[in-house]
């Protein structure tokens, strides 16, 4: 069974979301789309909260959020103790977010990266495993109690 990836964002990320859904299928993943369904203006928290909850519940193994700057979706997702949403703009940052921080949501700034960079970040994020070891203790200290 294919790993399920949650994907969503806002109107500024809609075009990239559509493109990345096709990329996920090509890479052998199943995607669950949390919207939006068009480029009409929306409030990103309406799409981020359900996506983050799906990742927490295990309904999706990882998540991808896309908005204009990536900041709004990252800030919203990171309100949840169990979420480690990483705003990335290069494949190297996406790799480190998984390896060192065990990020479970990749946040993409659609207005600041090309489609090719977004595709590569997604591929790297999904293929990279958490290293654990010296990073595990640090990751365990991220959530506020």
Contacts of 1 (CB under 8 A, 6+ apart): none
Task: At 136, list the tokens.
Answer: 């595990």
Give the active site residues: 67, 100
Task: At 87, list the tokens.
Answer: 């705003």
Among 74, 53, 62, residue whose Cα is nearest residue 124: 62
Strands 4-9, 30-33: pairing is: parallel
Contacts of 79 (CB under 8 A, 6+ apart): 52
In terms of C-beta density within 10 A (0-12 exposed, 13-18 middle, 19 or more buried), how is residue 61 classed?
middle
């Amino acid at each position: 069974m294919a790993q399920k990836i949650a994907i969503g964002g806002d109107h500024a990320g809609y075009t990239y979301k559509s493109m990345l859904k096709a990329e996920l299928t090509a890479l052998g993943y199943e995607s669950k789309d949390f919207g939006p369904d068009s480029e009409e203006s929306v409030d990103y928290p309406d799409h981020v909260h359900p996506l983050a909850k799906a990742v927490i519940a295990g309904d999706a193994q990882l998540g991808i959020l896309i908005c204009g700057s990536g900041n709004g979706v990252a800030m919203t997702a990171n309100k949840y103790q169990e979420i480690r949403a990483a705003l990335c703009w290069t494949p190297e940052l996406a790799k480190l977010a998984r390896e060192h921080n065990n990020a479970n949501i990749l946040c993409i700034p659609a207005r600041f990266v090309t489609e090719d960079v977004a595709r590569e970040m997604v591929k790297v994020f999904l293929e990279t495993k958490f290293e654990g070891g010296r990073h595990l203790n640090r990751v365990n200290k991220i959530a506020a109690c």
